[in-house]
Amino acid sequence: MLNGLGLGELFAILAAIVWAVSTLLYKGFSHHLSPMQLNISKGLLASTLMLGVILLTQDSALPTQLTSWLWLICGGIIGIAVGDSAYFAALRNIGPARTLVIESLAPALVGVFNIVLLNHYLSTFAWIGIILTTLGVMIAIKPSKTLPPVDRKHYRNGVLCALIAAICQALGMVMSKGALNHEQMSSLWAALIRLAAGTITVALIVAVFKSTDFKQAITLKDIKGKHWFFAAVFLGTFLGLWLQLGAVKYTDPAIAQTIFATAPLLVMTIGLIKREPVTSKMLGGGFLALVGVGLLLAN
């Protein structure tokens, strides 16, 4: 413990912060790269950074058992290759507001998969914290104005993709915990294996079906502001995923995922600092979410 705050919870808070900042940076590249191209580019760069740190620090605490590798590889394919792609598809079909509301289900789903896959149960107190935080985030990110209409086909596809993204994100998180429970390993090795598995899966699909897209994802040709893209990868993928696995290693994945889910609130906080308009729903939802996180930390 660190001044009463668990190491896992501290890592989760830091991960939410770096993801909030990287979200604002990644936003500028969503119109220049497809979701799968973005997945490949950030995965390749972040994997290289992770491998470099492992070599520099001579980190030899890699998993040695096949079961641990399978947990991490499956978690990477489900959480990153399928989950991230479904998330980006949902954004394109129904927009960020509707997508984020559905994504808020992820913490509760982690709690359920925790029971099913790892036979681990949370206390009633922790579940109350998860519910309060989830409700708070949903209230805060719910748009105050009427959203633009979406035709039935795009709406159905978007909602389905957002649900798939939330389920895959939750499954990937619990599978990572399964590997970390199985044997001792560094969170950096776990993050690298998980990221590499997801990135290689997406890269193979794109290389086979859209070779020109694959080349652009590798070279980042005609992409302006590459230094901001590198900053987003460093913060959101390299540090973010490393911190995420560190959080999952030292605390319950449902608690970690609940804290991660507050990242949109941090984006709103950054907007408040930039003097962007803030509604009473944002403030009320943010306060409710903070109460929920407080209960989790107290628990």
Average pLDDT, the chain: 83
Residue 148's pLDDT band, with cuts at 50, 70 and 90, is: low
pLDDT at 84: 82
Cα–Cα distance measured from residue 159 to residue 154, given in angstroms and rounded to the nearest whole number: 8
Is residue 147's pLDDT more than 60?
Answer: no
Highest mean pLDDT (candidates 77-91, 193-207, 283-297): 193-207
Dihedral in degrees, nearest 10, Cα atoms 163, 165, 171, 176: -160
Is residue 2's pLDDT more than 50?
Answer: no
Cα–Cα distance measured from residue 60 to residue 122, given in angstroms and rounded to the nearest whole number: 33
Q: What DSSP line would sit under 22-36, residue for residue?
A: HHHHHGGGTTTS-HH
Is residue 278's pLDDT more than 70?
Answer: no
Cα–Cα distance measured from residue 191 to residue 241, given in angstroms and rounded to the nearest whole number: 6
Return the SS3 of 2. Answer: strand
pLDDT at 30: 56
Residue in this structure with the two tokens 């998993």, named with its chain if needed: 63
pLDDT at 223: 74
∠188-7-171 over CA atoms, to 5°? 60
Q: CB–CB of 198/80 below 8 Å?
A: yes
Range scoring the smallest mean pLDDT among 29-33, 99-103, 118-122? 29-33
- Predicted TM-score (pTM) of the model is 0.82
pLDDT at 287: 78
Highest mean pLDDT (candidates 55-69, 97-111, 141-155, 248-262): 55-69
User: In sequence order, what E strands does the chain have?
Assistant: none
Q: What DSSP line would sit under 40-79, residue for residue?
A: HHHHHHHHHHHHHHHHHHT------SHHHHHHHHHHHIII
Range scoring the smallest mean pLDDT among 74-83, 119-128, 194-203? 119-128
Of the candidates 56, 54, 87, the residue with the CA atom closest to the CA atom of residue 196: 54
Range scoring the smallest mean pLDDT among 21-30, 43-52, 204-213, 214-223? 21-30
Residue 133's pLDDT band, with cuts at 50, 70 and 90, is: confident
**Integer-rounded Cα radius of gyration of the chain:** 19
Is residue 106's pLDDT more than 60?
Answer: yes
Count of CB atoms situated within 10 Å of the CB of 213: 16
Is residue 1's pLDDT more than 50?
Answer: no
pLDDT at 259: 85
Give per-residue pLDDT as tens, 57-101: 999 999 999 999 999 999 999 999 999 888 878 877 877 667 777
Is residue 260's pLDDT more than 80?
Answer: yes
Q: CB–CB of 223/229 below 8 Å?
A: yes
Range scoring the smallest mean pLDDT among 104-108, 148-152, 206-210? 148-152
Residue 294 Cα to chain centre, angstroms: 21
Average pLDDT over residues 124-137: 84
Handedness of CA 283, 264, 292, 99 (dihedral sign): positive
